[in-house]
Structure 1
Amino acid sequence: MARHSELNGKVVVITGASSGFGRGAAVEFANQGAQVVLAARRGEALDTVARECEAAGGTAIPVSVDVSNEQDMEQLAKTAISRCGRIDVWLNNAGVGALGRFEDIPIDVHEQTIKTDLLGTLYGSYFAYRQFLQQGNGTLINIASELGKTSVPYYTSYAAAKHGVVGLSDSLRQEVKQNKVAGVHICTILPTAHDTPFFDHAANYTGHEIAPPKPLHDPQNVIEAIVDVASDPEDERIVGGDGVLKVAMANLMPGTTEKMEAKVMHKTQFEKAPPGPDSPGAVEQPTARGTAVDMNRRKQKQRKE
């Protein structure tokens, strides 16, 4: 990845840093010379990521955090400020999913999905933004999803939360611009389906093995987008050409697009996927599995073919 000299020495807080986009971004920010504050529920996994960041040339502070807990998020901000003196970039990345017919997913799983994905982003945004105002600058990056602007069936609480993340980011960005808050940036990244442990952590109440949607992209694309936006802020970026197309189609032909996406999702997950047990995944409790950045499903599929 290209060097971004302006990131050298910056303080970057990353939630969901134990795997996927968060882990990859943490190592890349460290490679750029940043000080990274790593947040996730899995302390042991965070320690591993911290060592990777230090080996890459940065400094790392692991903090065990449940983003759905307001007090944890406030303490995360306080730790970053007390240890590093400021916060330059805050990345709200932690997220979970729940897959299944709306009525089959337990209500507490729906609730926790929204707490993690939306309230976790709200808490992080709140404490980061207040610090940015005090400093006079800072960049907030919220990871939403292409499903924050479109929808598919069977991801109801996840889609609701990601629509909320988009709305939160858009509204806060309007406040910043309306009040001419120079130096503070609100950025939203909307990935399509990428080959991270997301599908290994998702709750699954379909009666089938989870079938990740196609195409499944390289997580490095999102990691590069995160670092680019941290270096040169932009309001919004969709990552994945199919996501750009889906959002455009949803705006131009909403009824047709909704019907088509629903049919594809149903066929992939309920008609073609092999039977599998129900599982709460990592929604309510962390799991040891799935700590990589890239799960390599794409390569495994290619080998089978």
Structure 2
Amino acid sequence: MKLKLKPLAQQVIVITGASSGIGLVTARMAARQGAKVVLAARNAEALRELADEIRAQGGQALAVPTDVGSEEEMMRLAAAAVAEFGTFDTWVNNAGVSIFGYCDEVSIPDMKRMFDTVYWGAVYGSRLAVAHYKQRGEAGALINIGSFFGDRATPVQSTYCSAKHALHGWTDALRMELEMEKAPVSVTLVHPGRIDTPYNEHAQSYYEHQVAHRGMVYPPESVAEAVLFAAEHPKRDMFVGFQAKALAVVGHVAPRFMDKLMEALIPPTQIDPKRPSKNPETSALYEAGYGLQEHGSHEGWFRSGSYYVKAQKRPWLAALALAGVGGAAWLLARPRS
């Protein structure tokens, strides 16, 4: 069944994790393009200021303070969107938080709390969105923000990888079930690479030094571009940054090569040795993080955008790029004589 989604300017979009980073940028971009936005996060003050900012610019916005790890609060979020605007057309499960620490040192309570946000929050949101679209009988979009680390595990962020792997599996299974019953729901999984947001500042860290991206970093606007394209055009997957797609493909074809590469590169490129680590009590794992900041404090090669996102809007370009990645992966994986 071919689904037809509304133009963005006619949509109501629910965005979790809207107080900073990807969610904040997506909300601002969606509002500028005429969408009505429903803003969800734990930071009530940041949401209120963002809603006021959007209204002052002529847009329509509703702020709904929400802990996505609570099913009851997510139900209230969906009900508030319907009460204010009569419906919603796209639901974006974006809220997330990470933990930096090795498998044997991260506490079990920290692990469970992070799964509440990264995995269970997306499950609650997915079920609410699907139920709404089925009830109204009109096509809508569900967009889950995954991660390259949901395609390929990494040292240092074991809990985050595990939660994103679970989210990817949930999204794929849900998509297939909905296709089988011909439900009016477009399900998209977004796979960001390293993105310049306050992700590291909000993370719970077991490290002595501040965690930070050190390498190729993409702007949050590229993720927002992918999200808003998927809100209007049914897409199975959107990869943000060619690095995300390339490393996922190579990791699948040549897993031992990728093991060794990540063991060598990930730990040193996740730490800024010049800055002491923030107090774990200031992280956003249990309490709301600071809001209204789109970018973080990273070091590296800051890209102005993602050509691969733009290529995915034109499938033949993405196919050419993927063919090149596949060829390189085959060369890496083939037996040496």
* Fold match by TM threshold 0.5: yes
Superposed, which structure 2 residues align to 1:1-305 within 5 Å? 6-136=7-137, 137-181=139-183, 183-269=184-270, 275-276=276-277, 279-280=280-281, 281-288=283-290, 291-295=292-296, 297=298
What CA deviation, in whole Å up to 9, does each residue of 1:9-58 have, x standing for no partner? 31110100001111111111111111111000001000111122223432
1:277, 1:64 → 2: CA distance?
A: 25
2:61, 2:265 → 1: CA distance?
A: 42
Instruction: Call closer, same or farther: CA 1:237–1:270 in 2, change over 3 Å.
Output: closer
Instruction: Call closer, same or farther: CA 1:273–1:177 in 2, change over 3 Å.
Output: farther
User: Which consecutive residues of structure 1, in runs of 5 or more, have no partner in the other structure?
Assistant: none
SS in 1 for 2:211: coil
1:270, 1:64 → 2: CA distance?
A: 32
1:29, 1:86 → 2: CA distance?
A: 17
Aligned to 2:312: none
Instruction: Call closer, same or farther: CA 1:238–1:300 in 2, change over 3 Å.
Output: closer
TM-superposed deviation, 1:84? 1.0
2:236, 2:113 → 1: CA distance?
A: 28
SS in 2 for 1:140: strand
Asked whether the equivalents of residues 94 and 144 of structure 2 are also in contact (C-alpha less than 8 Å), the reply is yes
CA RMSD of aligned residues (A): 2.2
Judge which range, 268-277 or 55-64, deviates more: 268-277
Judge which range, 250-259 or 270-279, deviates more: 270-279
1:282, 1:296 → 2: CA distance?
A: 16
Asked whether the equivalents of residues 10 and 35 of structure 2 are also in contact (C-alpha less than 8 Å), the reply is yes
What CA deviation, in whole Å up to 9, does each residue of 1:64-97 have, x standing for no partner? 0000001000110111111111110000000000
Aligned to 2:327: none
Instruction: Call closer, same or farther: CA 1:54–1:100 in 2, change over 3 Å.
Output: same
Aligned residues: 297
Instruction: Call closer, same or farther: CA 1:301–1:77 in 2, change over 3 Å.
Output: closer
TM-superposed deviation, 1:213? 4.2
Judge which range, 37-46 or 258-267, deviates more: 258-267
What CA deviation, in whole Å up to 9, does each residue of 1:152-195 have, x standing for no partner? 111111101101111111011101111122x3101110101100
TM-superposed deviation, 1:274? 5.3
What CA deviation, in whole Å up to 9, does each residue of 1:90-127 have, x standing for no partner? 00000000001122222211111111000000000011
2:60, 2:218 → 1: CA distance?
A: 29
Asked whether the equivalents of residues 74 and 125 of structure 2 are also in contact (C-alpha less than 8 Å), the reply is yes
Q: Normalized against structure 2, the TM-score is what?
A: 0.83
TM-superposed deviation, 1:299? 8.8
SS in 2 for 1:215: strand
User: Which consecutive residues of structure 2, in runs of 5 or more, have no partner in the other structure?
Assistant: 304-337
Counterpart amino acid of 2:120? L
Counterpart amino acid of 1:225? A
2:32, 2:288 → 1: CA distance?
A: 28
Instruction: Call closer, same or farther: CA 1:99–1:184 in 2, change over 3 Å.
Output: same
Aligned-pair identity (%):
34
SS in 2 for 1:294: coil
Instruction: Call closer, same or farther: CA 1:37–1:276 in 2, change over 3 Å.
Output: closer
TM-superposed deviation, 1:273? 6.3
2:166, 2:121 → 1: CA distance?
A: 11
Judge which range, 108-117 or 277-286, deviates more: 277-286
Asked whether the equivalents of residues 209 and 277 of structure 1 are also in contact (C-alpha less than 8 Å), the reply is yes
SS in 2 for 1:102: coil
TM-superposed deviation, 1:294? 2.2
Counterpart amino acid of 1:178? M
2:222, 2:31 → 1: CA distance?
A: 17
Counterpart amino acid of 2:162? A
Asked whether the equivalents of residues 93 and 143 of structure 1 are also in contact (C-alpha less than 8 Å), the reply is yes
